[in-house]
Amino acid sequence: MSDSKIIVALDYPATDAAIALADQLDPDRCKLKIGKELFTRSGPKTVELLVQQGFDVFLDLKYHDIPTTVAKACAAATDLGVWMMNVHTLGGAAMMRAARDAIGNASDRPLLIGVTLLTSMDQQTFDQIGLQGTISDTVLRLAKLADSSGLDGVVCSAQEASRLRVQHDDAFQLITPGIRPANSEQGDQHRTMTPSEALVAGSNYLVIGRPITAAKDPMLALQEIENSLTS
Ligand code: C5P
């Protein structure tokens, strides 16, 4: 397994483009994230192919269903050989515990991560669905529930990382998207942090998409991000 903290988001509609990008990347220097679009188009074959090529794969399908169904999906993802997968914490403690039980205790078992509230959720949407309180307190509460249900960590914005780091011990993994190297395009991301700022805030892994996938030379973009982490 690579010790890279960088997870490249393979946000492509088709297998060919995703594989072409992966071919330019080194599995010792980054991990890969496969989300709903690529998985729905190209299925587990792409996951297996990238795992065979030596990549640590984060399967980002955010499972949220009754405990038995989520447990079976997590067992299936474990069989694919993924390094990390995630579930929605809003599915509740029983669902998260069932997911954790399903992935087993082998030393190379996948990491199981919780999604708290999607960063696309604003206060109006939060109120509309009947949740009480503030978004940030709810994120903290759901992260605590994920921890006590046996999950290995949560996906969070880098802005939330420092408060979560105080609440949880070092073993609890914080996975942060919304990362932008200094002087790069923000795109549709708001409230971004640079890779080094996010690590200082307590993030364990940085999910980075377009700054690498849209670069002319993805490996050079990755190299520049690595350099920014050591300088
Ligand atoms: O291209 P970019 O670096 O913005 O990609 C970020 C990746 O992280 C995308 O795959 C996006 O769906 C995902 N993500 C996010 N914000 C979240 C959760 C996931 O940007 N809160």
Interval 204-228: pLDDT, tens: 999 999 999 999 999 999 999 999 9
Instruction: Give the active site residue among 31, 45, 62, 216.
Output: 62
Residues 6+ apart with CB under 8 A from 188: none
Distance CA 145, CA 159 (A): 20
E-only strand ranges, the chain:
6-9, 31-34, 57-63, 84-88, 111-115, 153-155, 173-176, 205-208
What pLDDT is recorded for position 152?
Answer: 98
Domain 6-230 class? alpha beta
Stated pTM of the model: 0.96
Mutate to test the pocket of ligand 1, among 6, 8, 11, 225 (most ligand atoms within 8 A of CB): 11
Ligand 1 atom showing the smallest separation from residue 179 Cα: 3
**C-alpha of residue 102 to centroid of ligand 1, in Å:** 27
Q: Quick check: is 62 catalytic?
A: yes
Ligand 1, pocket residues at CB < 6 Å: 9, 11, 35, 118-119, 155, 177-178, 187, 189, 207-210
Q: Evaluate the CA torsion angle 184, 187, 190, 192 in order and state its sign.
A: negative
Identity of residue 163: R
Distances (CA, A) of 121 to 15, 58, 105, 134, 205: 30, 23, 34, 11, 22
Write out the two tokens for 36: 């709903």
In the predicted model, is pLDDT for residue 34 greater than 90?
A: yes
Ligand 1 atom showing the smallest separation from residue 156 Cα: 21
| 121 CB-side CA count, 13 A | 18
What pLDDT is recorded for position 121?
Answer: 87
What pLDDT is recorded for position 184?
Answer: 86
Domain ranges of the chain: 6-230
Residue with CA closest to ligand 1 atom 14: 177
In the predicted model, is pLDDT for residue 188 greater than 90?
A: no
Q: What's the pLDDT tens digit per position in 54-77?
A: 999 999 999 999 999 999 999 999
Under the banding of pLDDT at 50, 70 and 90, the label for residue 231 is: confident
Mutate to test the pocket of ligand 1, among 8, 118, 176, 207 (most ligand atoms within 8 A of CB): 207
Q: Is 49 helix (H, G, I), strand (E, B) or coil?
A: helix
Q: Evaluate the CA torsion angle 60, 65, 66, 68 in order and state its sign.
A: negative
In the predicted model, is pLDDT for residue 1 greater than 80?
A: no
Residue with CA closest to ligand 1 atom 16: 177
Please give the share of the chain, as a percent, with pLDDT higher than 70.
100
Q: Evaluate the CA torsion angle 123, 125, 127, 133 in order and state its sign.
A: negative
What pLDDT is recorded for position 197?
Answer: 97
